[in-house]
Amino acid sequence: MNMANEAGHAVQHWEHFAHEADMGVRGIGSTCAEAFEQAALALSAIVTDLAAICPTQKVEIACTAPDVELLLADWLNAIIFEMATRHMLFSRYEVKLADGHLAGVAWGEPVEAARHQPAVEPKGATYTSLVVRRQQDGNWLAQCIVDV
């Protein structure tokens, strides 16, 4: 999902970045929470086309970590856990951050192999290329490599 700022540049967006064996997920947002939401979308997009996922069911997720980078890994790993145990795919996320705590909501639906054509299951969010920071342009970056 892209949302343009006043200058017409996309602020909120996600992307994948290259890694030899696995995949990098990257979220950009005007706040740290938005960057976390976008990184989660990048995670979902590893598995399937986001447009194919109907956000009809809601799952609440909470995490705590000693720093914001570990919190990103925790957030992505919590989503991976919910995907695996509920056999669901998610296409919409909402994150609230406060003092090392994350309160998140994921919306999605049960996986249907024929319709979603899921390519690969994420095994875990790694600490490799794990970065959460405010960039020079004022936007937040949240990224790491995901083992698939």
Q: Which positions lie near other proteins, rule CB under 8 A? A: 16, 18-23, 46-48, 65-66, 69-70, 73-74, 77, 80-81, 84-85, 87, 110-111, 113-114, 116-121, 123-128, 130, 145, 147-148
Q: DSSP labels for 41-109?
A: HHHHHHHS-GGG----EEEEEEEE-SSHHHHHHHHHHHHHHHHHHHTEEEEEEEEEEETTEEEEEEEEE
The smaller minimum CB distance to other proteins, of residues 34 and 142, is found at 142
Q: Report, in Å, the least distance between residue 29 CB and other proteins.
A: 21
Q: Which is nearer to other proteins, 5 or 133 (CB)?
A: 133
Q: Cβ contacts of residue 57 below 8 Å, gap of 6+? A: 88, 107, 108, 109, 110
Backbone φ, ψ for residue 92 (5° rounding): -145, 135
For other proteins, give the closer residue by CB, 103 or 111: 111
In 3D, which of 145, 114, 100 has the Cα closest to residue 127?
Answer: 145
Q: Which is nearer to other proteins, 34 or 145 (CB)?
A: 145
Minimum CB separation of residue 31 from other proteins in Å reads 24
Q: How far is the CB of 16 from other proteins (least distance, A)?
A: 5
**Cβ nearer to other proteins, comparing 60 with 137:** 60
Minimum CB–partner distance for residue 133 and other proteins (Å): 15
Helix (H) or strand (E) holding 114: helix 113-116
Q: Considering the complex, what minimum distance in angstroms separates the CB of residue 129 from other proteins? A: 8
